[in-house]
A and B are shown apart, each in its own frame.
Chain A
Amino acid sequence: MNVRLSTPRRLATIAIALAVAVPSLTACGDDEPGSSGDPNAATTLTWWHNGAQDPAKGVWQSIADQYHAEHPNVSFKVEPAQNEALKTKISVALQSPTPPSIFQQWGGGALATQVESGKLLDITDATSSWISELGAGAKGWQVEGKQYGVPFGLHVVGFWYRTDLFEQAGITSPPKTMEELNAAVTKLKAKGIAPIALGGKDKWPDAFWWSYFAIRECALDTVKNTVKNLKMDDPCWVKAGEDLKAFLDTKPFQEAFLGTPAQQGAGSSAGLVANGKAAMELQGDWELPTMIPLTEDKEYAKKLSWFEFPSVPGGKGTPGTALGGGDGYSCAVKAGAACADFLKYIASVPVQQKLVQSNTISLPANPGAISAIQDPTLKTVQEYLNKAPYIQVYFDQALPTSVGQALNDAIADFFAGKGSPQGIVDAFNKAVANK
Chain B
Amino acid sequence: MGTVAAATAPAKQAGRESSRPARRPGRLGTRLELALLLSPALVLFVGFVLLPIAVAVYYSFYKWTGFSPRTPYGLGNYQRVLEDEVFRSALLHNLIIAVLSVVIQLPLSIALALLLNRKIRGRAVLRLVVFAPYVLSEAITAVVWLLMLQPGGLVDQMFNAAGLGGLIQHWLADGDLVLYTLFVVITWKYIGFGVILLLAGLQSIPAELREAASTDGASAWATTRHIVLPLLGPTIRIWIFLSVIGSLQLFDLVWIMTLGGPASASATMATYLLDHGFSRYEFGFGSAVAVVLFVVCFIFALLYQRFALRRDLQGALTGTKR
Alpha-carbon distance between A216 and B278 when the two chains are bound, in angstroms: 32
Chain B residue contacts of A255, Cβ below 8 A: 151, 170
Interface residues as binary, A209-249 with B (CB distance below 8 Å gives 1, 0 otherwise): 00000000000000000000000000000000000000000
Alpha-carbon distance between A79 and B178 when the two chains are bound, in angstroms: 36
A168 at the interface (CB under 8 A from B): no
Within A316-370, the residues touching B (CB, 8 Å) are: none
B322–chain A nearest beta-carbon distance, Å: 10
B9 at the interface (CB under 8 A from A): no
Chain A residue contacts of B259, Cβ below 8 A: 201-203
Identify which of A2, A95, A258 gathers the most chain B CB atoms within 10 Å of its CB: A258
Chain A residue contacts of B10, Cβ below 8 A: none
Chain B residue contacts of A409, Cβ below 8 A: 264, 275
A107 at the interface (CB under 8 A from B): no
Alpha-carbon distance between A375 and B266 when the two chains are bound, in angstroms: 41
Chain A residue contacts of B171, Cβ below 8 A: 259
Tally of contact residues, A, Cβ under 8 A: 54
Alpha-carbon distance between A200 and B32 when the two chains are bound, in angstroms: 60
CB <8 Å contact, B43 and A25: yes
A181 at the interface (CB under 8 A from B): no
CB <8 Å contact, B262 and A412: yes
Q: Which stretch, B23-31, B204-212, B288-296, touches the partner chain A?
A: B23-31
A88 at the interface (CB under 8 A from B): yes
CB-CB under 8 A for A21 and B173, given A16-B35, A200-B262, A402-B280: no
Chain A residue contacts of B47, Cβ below 8 A: 25
CB-CB under 8 A for A117 and B23, given A2-B17, A256-B173, A267-B151: no
CB <8 Å contact, A256 and B170: yes
Q: Of A17, A258, A413, A416, which one neighbours B35 at CB under 8 angstroms?
A: A17
Alpha-carbon distance between A118 and B68 when the two chains are bound, in angstroms: 9
Chain B residue contacts of A114, Cβ below 8 A: 67
CB <8 Å contact, A13 and B150: no
CB <8 Å contact, B38 and A13: yes
Alpha-carbon distance between A265 and B152 when the two chains are bound, in angstroms: 14
CB <8 Å contact, B280 and A412: no
Interface residues as binary, A65-89 with B (CB distance below 8 Å gives 1, 0 otherwise): 0000000000000000000000110
Q: Of B23, B38, B66, which one neighbours A91 at CB under 8 angstroms?
A: B66
A24 at the interface (CB under 8 A from B): yes
Chain A residue contacts of B175, Cβ below 8 A: 258, 416-418
A195–chain B nearest beta-carbon distance, Å: 16
B22 at the interface (CB under 8 A from A): yes
Interface residues as binary, B274-313 with A (CB distance below 8 Å gives 1, 0 otherwise): 0100111111010000000000000000000000000000
CB-nearest residue of chain B relative to A272?
B151
B126 at the interface (CB under 8 A from A): no
CB <8 Å contact, B261 and A405: no
A126 at the interface (CB under 8 A from B): no
CB <8 Å contact, A21 and B67: no
B301–chain A nearest beta-carbon distance, Å: 22
CB <8 Å contact, A413 and B31: no
Chain A residue contacts of B66, Cβ below 8 A: 91-92, 94-95, 117
Alpha-carbon distance between A19 and B39 when the two chains are bound, in angstroms: 9
CB <8 Å contact, B261 and A116: no
CB <8 Å contact, B23 and A2: yes
CB <8 Å contact, A258 and B261: yes
CB <8 Å contact, A20 and B262: no
Alpha-carbon distance between A260 and B36 when the two chains are bound, in angstroms: 54
B93–chain A nearest beta-carbon distance, Å: 15
B222 at the interface (CB under 8 A from A): no
CB <8 Å contact, A401 and B65: yes
Tally of contact residues, B, Cβ under 8 A: 51
Alpha-carbon distance between A25 and B40 when the two chains are bound, in angstroms: 11
Chain B residue contacts of A260, Cβ below 8 A: 150, 173
A98 at the interface (CB under 8 A from B): no
Alpha-carbon distance between A117 and B151 when the two chains are bound, in angstroms: 44
Alpha-carbon distance between A202 and B261 when the two chains are bound, in angstroms: 9
B172 at the interface (CB under 8 A from A): yes
CB <8 Å contact, A256 and B31: no
Chain A residue contacts of B151, Cβ below 8 A: 254-256, 267
Chain B residue contacts of A256, Cβ below 8 A: 150-151, 170, 172-174
Identify which of B40, B46, B279 gathers the most chain A CB atoms within 10 Å of its CB: B279
Interface residues as binary, A1-31 with B (CB distance below 8 Å gives 1, 0 otherwise): 0111100010011101111110011000000
Chain B residue contacts of A415, Cβ below 8 A: 262-263
B12 at the interface (CB under 8 A from A): no
CB <8 Å contact, B67 and A94: yes
CB <8 Å contact, B42 and A259: no
Alpha-carbon distance between A409 and B264 when the two chains are bound, in angstroms: 9
CB <8 Å contact, A24 and B280: no
Alpha-carbon distance between A221 and B222 when the two chains are bound, in angstroms: 80
Chain B residue contacts of A201, Cβ below 8 A: 172, 258-259, 261-262
CB <8 Å contact, A16 and B20: no
Within B1-37, the residues touching A (CB, 8 Å) are: 17, 20, 22-23, 25-26, 30-32, 34-36
Cross-chain pairs A/B with CB under 8 angstroms, 6 sampled: A3-B25, A13-B35, A21-B42, A114-B67, A259-B170, A416-B175
Known: A114-B67, A265-B147. 5 other contacts (CB 8 A): A2-B17, A20-B36, A113-B281, A255-B151, A259-B171
Point out residues on B near A: beta carbons under 8 Å. 17, 20, 22-23, 25-26, 30-32, 34-36, 38-40, 42-43, 46-47, 65-69, 80, 147, 150-151, 153, 170-175, 178, 258-259, 261-265, 275, 278-283, 285
3 nearest interchain CB pairs? A117-B67, A259-B173, A416-B263
